Amino acid sequence: MKAKMTVNKTFKISEVDKRIYGSFVEHMGRCVYTGIYEPGHPTADAQGFRGDVLKLVKELNVPFIRYPGGNFVSGYNWEDGIGPVAQRPKRLDLAWKTVESNEVGVHEFMNWAKMAGAEVNMAVNLGTRGLDAARDLLEYCNHPGGSYWSDLRKKNGAEQPFGIKTWCLGNEMDGPWQMGHRTAHEYGRLAQETAKIMKMMDSSLEMVVCGSSNHKMPTYASWEAEVLEHTYHDVDYLSLHCYYGNQDNDLPGYLAQSLEMDEFIKSVAAICDYVKAKKRSRKTMYLSFDEWNVWYHSNARDAKNEPWQYAPPILEDDYNFEDALLVGCLLITLLKNSDRVKIACMAQLCNVIAPIMTAKGGPAWRQTIFWPYAHAANNGHGTVLTPIIECPTYEIKQKQHHGPDIVKEIPFIEAVAVHNADKGEMVVFAVNRSQEHELDFSMEFQGYGLADILEFKQLSGHDIKKTNTADDGSVAPSDGLAPTKDDNSVNAKLAPLSWNMLRVAVR
């Protein structure tokens, strides 16, 4: 079966903002404690951070990390995490019904992120707290010195300010589960005032305001419109969150969920543009898809969890091969929308719905979804080109809120090309959604002269339910069959159900 992608040098979507390959570290479950941080672990450094995990985070090449939550941030007192560790209070975290030891706070996390080579996207608590705590945290983190909070930071060991540029104005404030849940009007006003006073301290800061927790929320769309009515002039990004899953064990439908992500992004961009038009604004609102991933495997197990434990194993999804294929499709979708999506964070980084898993006191390993993320974050930089795809399709039925099911045509191929002018290479990411057919995939790069094929990696040939474990990392990429090429096109065989990355040197 044949498929074709044509790209043209002049048909550009956008430059990739590297923050599109962001991640997320929340104080929940074992993401921090026994995840990135475990004093006494054989690989731990003097601060208690695990060297084996840090090595994998560097391998992923994560450029940007949202912190410290998530639902956790809506009850968090950031001051609990500063000063001598032995004197820090243990607190009940009501979001996840766990005990937070505060061993890791802003200093420790900033040090760790620096070692990981990642910029931090700090969230402020607009749930149980508000303006005052937000401006104090900003002063503590970013002011050079000569004020109460900045001098306290110096006293606590950080002479230089942390220089945090991007800030989240709370988390999922539309959700009734959120501590301090608010209506769109209440949140819009609070977020606007918080952004305003934070920008009074530093007008170059970038602010992310909360959109809906997902597009199935009853207030979805009207929430975005009303929040932006209040905040449009003071914020820079609107957030989107969405988790995907194969609860129905329907592989064709599951792999089509990236098209839902695409529709969600385009709808939210349209809402932003509606508010832009209404306000006669010249500013474009960009999007921060700051929570996305597959999340469903651990739900049943988590329902039985005992409350008030320290670092319990919650949201520990064991990802299988089909999840890696969907994650690949989602990454391609984010790239295809890179004109609007400037920030995206895979939720989360370690143990909690994560590409990296650890055993307490034991090894760390790569989940299946690690691979498409690592390929994209390491190689998907430069200019995204508009992919014109010609390929066979399959049909799925989708339920609607009102009216009969609709039939949707799903292309077998999900693909995108990114031209990295600095490195002189063209990188293609492609998923073959077909279960039966190998695709003879021809890629035409109009306006480019092709030199050597540098790499063709493929993740394929596994049982769709196969996972990786501490002892078995066999869901891993291997070299695909050598592609053929002429002056401006390449032909590659995409195995049935495969994630593919092709790198070609271009002139």
Write out the residues near ligand AHR by the rule CB under 6 A: 26, 69-71, 171-172, 213, 291, 347-348
Closest to ligand AHR by CB, 44 or 99: 99
Closest distance to ligand AHR from the beta carbon of 214 (Å): 8
The answer to whether 504 touches 451, Cβ cutoff 8 Å, is yes
CB of 46 or CB of 300, closer to ligand AHR = 300
Q: Which residue is nearest to ligand AHR (CB)?
A: 70
Residue 348 CB, nearest approach to ligand AHR (Å): 6
Name which of 15 and 260 has its Cβ closer to ligand AHR: 260
Exactly one of 38, 224, 291, 316 is catalytic; name it. Answer: 291
In the complex, the smallest distance separating the C-beta of residue 103 from ligand AHR, rounded to whole angstroms, is 20
Q: Report the DSSP pairing between strands 22-24 and 64-67.
A: parallel
- Please tell me the distance from the alpha carbon of residue 16 to that of residue 337, in angstroms, as a whole number: 10
Query: SS3 for 53?
Result: helix
Based on CB atoms, which residue is closest to ligand AHR, 357 or 439?
A: 357
Question: Within 13 Å of residue 395, how many CA atoms lie on the same side as its CB?
Answer: 4
| Alpha-carbon span 312 to 239, nearest angstrom | 28
- Complex with ligand AHR: residue 70 or 81, whichever CB lies closer: 70
Asked if the bond preceding 348 is cis, omega within 30° of 0, the reply is yes
Shortest distance, position 245 Cβ to ligand AHR, whole Å: 13
Rounded to 10°, the helix 370-379/51-60 angle is 60
- Find the shortest distance in angstroms from Cβ 381 to ligand AHR: 26
Q: Which amino acid type is present at position 303?
A: A
Catalytic, 455? Answer no
Phi and psi, residue 261, nearest 5° = -60, -45
- In the complex with ligand AHR, which residue's Cβ is closer, 127 or 382? 127
Residue partners of 445: CB distance under 8 A and separation at least 6: 7, 9, 417, 426, 488, 489, 490, 504, 506
Angle at 255 between CA 253 and CA 259, to 5 degrees: 90
Compute φ and ψ for 311, nearest 5 degrees.
45, 55
Indicate the burial class of 153 (C-beta count within 10 angstroms; 0-12, 13-18, 19 or more): buried
For residue 46, what is the DSSP state?
A: T
* Shortest Å distance, C-beta 159 to ligand AHR: 33
Q: Which residue is catalytic, options 79, 119, 172, 322?
A: 172
Per the annotation, the verdict on 172 as an active-site residue is yes
Query: Which residue numbers are catalytic?
Result: 172, 291
